[in-house]
Homo-oligomer: A and B are copies of this chain.
Amino acid sequence: MNRRVTLVEVAPRDGFQPIGPFIPSEEKVAFITQANAAGLHRIELGSFVNPKAVPQMADTGEVLRRTAALPRLDAQVLVPNARGVADALAAGARHLVYVISASDAHNRSNVRRDTAVSIAEYGAVLQTLPAGIAIRLNVATTFDCPFDGRMDAGLVLERLAQMLAFRPDVEVGLCDTTGRAEPEQVGSLVRECLRRWGGTTRFAFHGHDTYGLGLANVSAAWQAGLECFDAAFGGLGGCPFAPGATGNVATEDVVWMFQRMGVETGVDLQELLGLATRAAALPGASPGGRVRTALASATRCA
């Protein structure tokens, strides 16, 4: 198991996107600046999607520009299609998170086309991509789909093989979109992915804590050999197209767990807790996670 892990902070994208009241760009920039200062140098800071569908992400270009000079920041932005890629590159993005759902039903709900069509489009996009653009390929509904239920691992691996045939040297995010993955399933799929493609492809786990399995799944993925995990400060999150799927696993919970395990994250937990507490208080937010409140009450009782 890896004694040093990388956390990708996704609250500015996955955490903020379901929040109704628009968070001013300045406030988004402040959160990103503080997260970076706390040691979270990989941050998914927005998405280039239809602003009518996800209005909270309409200022991603602005946020990207205003955080460009932050030291050590590796800023990634989510793109669901060729148009999003073009918009992201025009705005100066150097690290793209291309999202495709393993399940046709979720992909149709998300981007109105079958998974196979999205995979072909992804292949075409790669051919026109300028040099030096890093790719995270997020495979949504890797374990479970809000419409189709538990995913067949064979189908997921087949679709992954199609995506990786275009270009194997990417980072793949195995995304538990609904929070209904369970640790045995996560461990088993991670081991199989590493066995097949571990030599050339980097894998990451993106989990939600909707059913309380957030840390159990992160732990299972880590045990199976992963060293890169998505998380959102304050446990913010949710997918606007996955009913009931609220709450990314909280970054502070993940940091706390790894600290207890003696695994290095590079994150300053105290700074992160301050940030998470402010994020949890955002109007319209549905915060999650346990460590924030547990440490607050422990302090009160001590």
Chain A residues engaging chain B, CB cutoff 8 angstroms: 1, 150, 179-180, 182-185, 209-216, 218-220, 223, 243-244, 246, 250, 253, 256-257, 260-261, 289-291, 294-295, 297-298, 300-302
- Whether the pair A212, B180 counts as a contact (CB closer than 8 A) is no
A212 and B209: CB pair below 8 A? yes
Q: Nearest-CB distance from A255 to chain B (Å)?
A: 11
The answer, among B1, B182, B256, B294, for a CB contact under 8 Å with A261, is: B182
Cβ of A301 to closest chain B Cβ, rounded Å: 4
State the Cβ distance, A159 to closest chain B Cβ, in Å: 22
Contacts of A1 in B (CB 8 A): 184
Tell which of B150, B184, B219, B291 touches A216, judged by Cβ atoms closer than 8 Å: B219
**What are 23 A-B residue pairs whose CB atoms fall within 8 Å in the complex?**
A180-B260, A182-B260, A182-B261, A183-B216, A183-B219, A183-B223, A183-B257, A184-B219, A184-B261, A209-B212, A210-B290, A211-B253, A211-B256, A211-B290, A211-B291, A212-B214, A212-B250, A213-B257, A215-B216, A216-B216, A244-B295, A244-B297, A244-B298
Kindly state the separation between the CA atoms of A180 and B290 in the bound complex, as whole angstroms.
12
Q: Is the CB of B297 within 8 A of A246?
A: yes
Which chain B positions have C-beta within 8 A of A218?
Answer: 216
In the complex formed, the residue of B with least CB distance to A249 is B212
**Closest Cβ–Cβ distance, residue A257 to chain B (whole Å):** 6
Task: State A302–B297 Cα separation when bound (angstroms).
Answer: 35
User: Which B residues lie within 8 Å of A214 (CB)?
Assistant: 212
Indicate whether A209 sits within 8 Å of B301 (C-beta atoms), given known contacts A182-B257, A184-B261, A215-B215. no
Contact B215 A290 (CB under 8 A): no
Top 7 nearest A-B pairs by Cβ distance?
A244-B298, A212-B290, A243-B301, A216-B216, A182-B260, A215-B216, A183-B219
Closest to A299 in B: B244
For the complex, what is the distance from the CA of A231 to the CA of B260, rounded to whole Å?
23
How far does the alpha carbon of A218 sit from the alpha carbon of B220 in the complex, in Å?
A: 12
